[in-house]
């Protein structure tokens, strides 16, 4: 039974998984709306569309970012954006679009410094990311303390910067997000080969004439634009998480990059859409944290139940292996005693078998009995005719193998 479940699940076709997930997601979102009677008004429409689109974009970009082992990139961006926000505030005053431009420039600059460090020093990627994260954030904090003296200091809007304010999303914002979604998807599709090769094997890509550094720059620029656009929705720290969670979840379900990207986009869209909807009906007011919580749940679920790579199937596989191993051992135990005593249906005490093989033998014995290979006799077990010939065949095979190895 368990073996059949295992075989079934590991051979599920990808499209079935993808369609099921997408349908499930849509059903959840629509169901939520109908069940709780949310009014599908302008605000909800805008927030919902914006969240779904951003989920898709971060999902797609996140695949390449995590595969490049740059999961921290989002966090670096988030922290590196701070000095940009504060400086933009000092120069041009508060106003979300101004702050976003500042964030984008500083964040982008931060990522380029990371590339520079990697190109010119021997430092490893995680170190470079850590250095930039800390210095830029520190710089931001020190400039921020300078603004505290000013009268309008309270209006820097740092709370929005960190946690977002989804309810303020307008139709015009959705238009911008749609534009970015289209641009990102077109670029990823157009340069699919280039992005694949330069994330998998950059040196080989270079020897084939690909401008790897340009594609790195392109990717980090797209990531910056996406994260900064998402600022308003979910806040910078949470956007960073959206870059990692859907991609990690999607990796669990497939061994193909194209499938991973599609699934990651679906996961991102589900987290974004459902998060916005739940927050819209009044659960968890701030939309950003709700979206991230859902994305985290999808990731955790995938780590556990995804076929082949999931923990659950790992355990199941080990359990099934152990099962087979134990039954084979029991069979050979019974055979050995039968041979030694020159009696095909020699009865071996159950207590002795358990003593030899541990408590797992109970399961093995039941298995063998069900398959008609052994039968119960008083307080012990004996081979049936079928069981004896099976055990004999396996014994012969082992002997042959040993002879081959010795030869």
- Token pair, residue 111, equals 């990522």
What's the min distance (Å) between Cβ of 10 and another protein? Answer: 12
- Rule CB under 8 A: say whether 311 interacts with another protein: no
Choosing from 184, 197, 244, 265, the residue that interacts with another protein (CB under 8 A) is: 197
C-beta separation of 331 from 390 below 8 A: yes
- Rule CB under 8 A: say whether 208 interacts with another protein: yes
Q: Which residues contact 328 (CB under 8 A, 6 or more apart)?
A: 394
Instruction: Quote the DSSP letter at residue 155.
Output: G
- Rule CB under 8 A: say whether 67 interacts with another protein: yes
What's the min distance (Å) between Cβ of 398 and another protein? Answer: 24
Stretch that binds another protein, among 9-17, 105-113, 198-206, 328-336 (CB under 8 A): 198-206
Stretch that binds another protein, among 187-195, 299-307, 325-333, 374-382 (CB under 8 A): 187-195
Query: Of 13 and 209, which has the nearer Cβ to another protein?
Result: 209
- Token pair, residue 325, equals 């191993």
Q: What is the chain's alpha carbon radius of gyration, rounded to the nearest angstrom?
A: 30
- Rule CB under 8 A: say whether 114 interacts with another protein: no
Stretch that binds another protein, among 32-40, 51-59, 205-213, 358-366 (CB under 8 A): 205-213
Choosing from 2, 92, 190, 311, the residue that interacts with another protein (CB under 8 A) is: 190
- Token pair, residue 224, equals 């910056």
What gap in Å lies between CA 86 and CA 61, rounded to an integer? 27
What's the min distance (Å) between Cβ of 205 and another protein? Answer: 8
What gap in Å lies between CA 269 and CA 49, rounded to an integer? 10
What gap in Å lies between CA 233 and CA 129, rounded to an integer? 25
- Rule CB under 8 A: say whether 125 interacts with another protein: no
Burial class of residue 400 (count of CB atoms within 10 Å of its CB; 0-12, 13-18, 19+): exposed
Number of residues located near another protein, criterion CB under 8 A: 28
- Token pair, residue 201, equals 């094997």
How far separated are the first and last CA of the chain, in Å rounded?
Answer: 41
Among positions 232-251, residues that touch another protein (CB under 8 A) are 251
Choosing from 7, 152, 201, 349, the residue that interacts with another protein (CB under 8 A) is: 201
C-beta separation of 254 from 302 below 8 A: no
- Rule CB under 8 A: say whether 211 interacts with another protein: no
- Rule CB under 8 A: say whether 193 interacts with another protein: yes
- Rule CB under 8 A: say whether 207 interacts with another protein: yes
| Nearest residue to 112 via CA among 28, 241, 213 | 213
**CB 317: neighbour CB atoms within 10 A?**
15
- Rule CB under 8 A: say whether 314 interacts with another protein: no
Residues that bind another protein (CB under 8 A): 67, 69, 189-194, 196-197, 199-201, 203-210, 251, 254-257, 259-260
């Amino acid at each position: 039974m368990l073996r059949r479940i295992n075989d079934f699940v590991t051979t599920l076709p990808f499209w079935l998984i993808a369609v099921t997930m997408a349908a499930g997601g849509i059903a959840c979102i629509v169901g939520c709306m109908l069940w709780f009677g949310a009014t599908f008004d302008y605000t909800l429409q805008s927030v919902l569309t914006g969240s779904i689109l951003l989920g898709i974009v971060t999902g797609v970009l996140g695949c390449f970012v995590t595969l490049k082992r740059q999961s921290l990139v989002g966090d670096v961006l988030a922290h590196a954006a701070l000095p940009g926000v504060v400086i933009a505030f000092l120069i041009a005053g508060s106003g979300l679009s101004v702050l976003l431009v500042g964030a984008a420039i500083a964040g982008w600059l931060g990522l380029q410094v990371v590339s520079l460090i990697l190109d010119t020093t021997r430092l490893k990627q995680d170190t470079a990311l850590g250095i930039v994260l800390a210095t830029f954030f520190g710089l931001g904090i020190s400039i921020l303390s300078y603004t505290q003296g000013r009268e309008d200091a309270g209006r820097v809007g740092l709370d929005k910067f960190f946690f977002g304010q989804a309810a303020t999303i307008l139709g015009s914002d959705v238009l911008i997000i749609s534009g970015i979604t289209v641009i990102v998807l077109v670029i990823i599709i157009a340069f699919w080969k280039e992005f694949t090769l330069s994330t998998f094997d950059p040196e080989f890509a270079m020897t084939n004439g690909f401008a790897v550094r340009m594609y790195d720059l392109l990717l980090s620029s797209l990531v910056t634009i996406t994260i900064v656009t998402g600022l308003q929705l979910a806040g910078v720290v949470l956007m960073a998480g959206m870059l990692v969670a859907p991609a990690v979840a999607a990796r669990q379900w497939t061994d193909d990059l194209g499938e991973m990207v599609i699934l990651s986009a679906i996961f991102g869209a589900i987290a974004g859409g459902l998060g916005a909807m739940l927050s819209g009906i009044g659960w968890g007011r701030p939309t950003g944290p709700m979206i991230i919580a859902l994305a985290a749940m999808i990731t955790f679920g995938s780590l556990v139940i995804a076929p082949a790579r999931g923990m659950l199937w790992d355990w199941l596989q080990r359990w099934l292996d152990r099962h087979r191993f134990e039954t084979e051992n029991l069979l050979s135990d019974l055979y050995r005693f039968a041979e030694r005593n020159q009696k095909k249906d020699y009865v071996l005490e159950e207590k002795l078998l358990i003593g030899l093989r541990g408590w797992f033998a109970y399961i093995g014995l039941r298995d063998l009995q069900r398959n008609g290979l052994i039968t119960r006799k008083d307080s012990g077990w004996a081979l049936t005719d079928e069981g004896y010939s099976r055990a004999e065949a396996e014994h012969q095979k082992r002997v042959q193998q040993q002879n081959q190895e010795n030869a």
